Amino acid sequence: MPQEGSGGSRSARRKNRNTGEDSTPKRILVIGGTNFIGRLLVPELLHRGHEVHILHRKSRHPFSKRVHNLAADRNDAAAVRKAVGSVRFDAVYDNVYDWEHGTTAAQVEATAQIFDGKVGRYVFMSSVAAYGDGLNHHEGDALAPDDHPNPYARNKAMSERALFRMHQRTGFPVVTLRPPFIYGPDNPYYREAFFWDRFRAGRPVILPSEGHRLMQFVYVKDLVELAVKALELRNAAGHAFNTANPRAITQHELLLDLARVAGVKEPHLVSIPRDLIQRAGGQAFGSHKLYFGDYFDVPAITQIVTKAQRMLAFKPTDFETGLKATYRWYLKHRAFPKPDFSFEDELLARFSTLIPAPRSA
């Protein structure tokens, strides 16, 4: 176990005064480092010479022995405090959200308070959902109210408010990132793979209400790069950053893009009104009655990313380029169970003869 203190010696300090970046080797804690974002973030931090610890519920992690393991439930601040002990960190990444029970603002704040006055940067992974709804949001726009009906949006918005209150009161060095849909290799959610499974099986794909809802994406590797820059940029503390590919696309355009990278020239898309799908039992998330991937058919929220482009030199990966890399990973790993098409067959039998299929662009 390392001794209390900073992860980097003075002789190892490397600061670029022209860019305001600090690449000093640091002792870093990643809360929730084993899934999707963390699987890329942890190796990147190691590559940059940092000492990395991860905190999660398990006694082991999938990384090398260079990564220190701390076991605790991030929703239990007392357990986190005990796991951390006397170790002091230069930076903390708070990446994890408990999808089963939710992670409330009180739980986020209780964890953050463990490090108040003892850390140089606290990077919180928020979400575009923190805005609640609406298009073309800037970072200064109001976040979702405390009584917002979506618990995820409510928790993210309230967590940000709590963290920025700490910043105002004590100078707590928080940075928040607000990604939209994250895509890329190792995605644990049945999203891109949902459609590729169907395209490769030669099946029709359901498009809810002709697919006019807007969607916005960020490539996971771009998000990791931004997370690292949020650590290194000295004047980033106290800021929130929208983190997305600037181009918002419709659901229909998404399916055409997904089909194209899979080599499907004429995808068979069948439009069924959303209200009919939902009345038949269709679910947007975590159900055997999925019809458009995990949590993909939700009200549109989009954002403007000029602040990240200006302050963090954000240069998003071209969407098709990122999808091609994701498709290669999908073909190699096949990480999801064999798909069940029974609910879609029911929808198609009941409704597709009534609704004309949209033509590919």
pLDDT in tens, 235-245: 999 999 999 99
Residue 1 has pLDDT above 50, yes or no: no
Q: What is the mean pLDDT of the chain?
A: 91
Enter the tokens of residue 104: 């409330």
Give the residue extent of every domain in the chain: 10-182+218-242, 188-216+247-301+318-351
pLDDT in tens, 311-339: 999 999 999 999 999 999 999 998 899 99
Q: How sure is the predictor about 152, in pLDDT bands with cuts at 50, 70 and 90?
A: very high
Residue 29 has pLDDT above 50, yes or no: yes
| pTM attached to this predicted model | 0.91
pLDDT in tens, 268-320: 999 999 999 999 999 998 778 999 999 999 999 999 999 999 999 999 999 99
Q: Which pLDDT belongs to residue 34? A: 83
Residue 254 has pLDDT above 70, yes or no: yes
CATH architecture of 188-216+247-301+318-351: Alpha-Beta Complex (3.90)
Domain 10-182+218-242 has CATH 3.40.50.720: yes
Q: Which pLDDT belongs to residue 192? A: 97
**Equal CATH topology for 10-182+218-242 and 188-216+247-301+318-351:** no
pLDDT in tens, 30-83: 998 788 999 999 999 999 999 999 999 888 888 888 999 999 999 999 999 999
Q: Which pLDDT belongs to residue 2? A: 33
Residue 3 has pLDDT above 90, yes or no: no
pLDDT in tens, 337-352: 999 999 999 999 998 6
pLDDT in tens, 82-136: 999 999 999 999 999 998 899 999 999 999 999 999 999 999 999 999 999 999 9
The mean pLDDT of 140-152, rounded to a whole number, is: 97
Residue 18 has pLDDT above 60, yes or no: no
